[in-house]
Structure 1
């Protein structure tokens, strides 16, 4: 795997924990995942439905806007493209917001991205991980258990929504949680797109 440090970043072997708000407490009975927005019909998945979806294993590099980069973490999860197969999109859908729990609100956090950048194996809703210092293990609650989104490395990691709860499909781009506070809409680490 190519190991290229974006400008302004330093390499770490740790996986630092950064988040805002409280840590979501998973309850399988009440958890679900919604696919909504510019779709013909809203789809709601239970935890069991979600975990039955096809999975893949992918090794990715992560780059945080706070300047750390971690290379070569391997994740197991459900590719975003598998979720797209479950909905009938309206015409001209080009963007998504990926939602997650924040302060008790299941849609309190979100991050925007262009849909066409998320169709590969490196766009995963992950639940297990390993690296050269750790064997396979479930995500812990602080890292987003039961499932979080890991974006391609062409996005800073704030686009990697923790405690993921749904995807809104959109024709037009809209700012998410951090973007509303002045962070970049496109967030490419290799172009150092940290802020608007």
Structure 2
């Protein structure tokens, strides 16, 4: 499915910046990453804890609901499955919500996703990137520094939470930030699954 342009999209070489609210100002001393919800025991990680996890490099196509698509973008980050290895889930966990900072609230933004589609190399919490025009560089604060979730290409990019702060594990699906405002729960760009 690499380099496949979904219907209603146009290709761009740039990585446009779109976000709601303030740009989070990273503070390593106060930054935390929580694993919570349907877990046997909650986990709280420091930035150093997260950055000590095994790294994955993957090239992931991005499709924004505002109709742009960007191919051949390579990211380095931590695969979601690495966080799964740090906790024991309760039975029947099928969904997650990935939270991020929004106007100062560490859990003000969220996006819901089905867990079973996020276990490969294309579901990454990223901190640096490169493409055909640039060598490795940190993601910018406007793109979600210090850590931003990039979903597989089978989801629109609003599922890619910026300034991430944690993962909530769930048995039932729940609306996230944009879903509460009428966006699709499933967000499949190849079905133009933008709104409910």
TM-score, reference length from structure 1: 0.99
Match of 1:164 in 2: 164
Query: Residues 16-45 of structure 1: CA distance to partner in whole angstroms, max 9, x if unpaired?
Result: 000000000000000010000000110000
Alignment of 1:31 onto 2:20: no
In structure 1, distance between residues paired with 2:15 and 2:3: 16
Query: Residues 115-157 of structure 1: CA distance to partner in whole angstroms, max 9, x if unpaired?
Result: 0000000000000000000110001100000000000000000
RMSD: 0.6
In structure 2, distance between residues paired with 1:135 and 1:37: 38
Residue pairs, 1:107-118, within 5 angstroms: 107-118=107-118
The 3-state SS of whatever aligns with 1:177 is coil
In structure 2, distance between residues paired with 1:182 and 1:30: 33
Query: Residues 84-131 of structure 1: CA distance to partner in whole angstroms, max 9, x if unpaired?
Result: 010110000000000000010000000000000000000000000000
Aligned structure 1 segments of 4 or more residues deviating by more than 3 angstroms:
none
Residue pairs, 1:57-68, within 5 angstroms: 57-68=57-68
Alignment of 1:49 onto 2:49: yes
The 3-state SS of whatever aligns with 1:72 is coil
In structure 1, distance between residues paired with 2:157 and 2:8: 15
Match of 2:142 in 1: 142
Match of 1:19 in 2: 19
In structure 1, distance between residues paired with 2:114 and 2:121: 16
Match of 1:100 in 2: 100
The 3-state SS of whatever aligns with 2:149 is strand
- Unpaired stretches in structure 2, ≥5 consecutive residues: none
Match of 2:131 in 1: 131
Match of 2:188 in 1: 188
| CA shift for structure 1 position 2 | 2.6
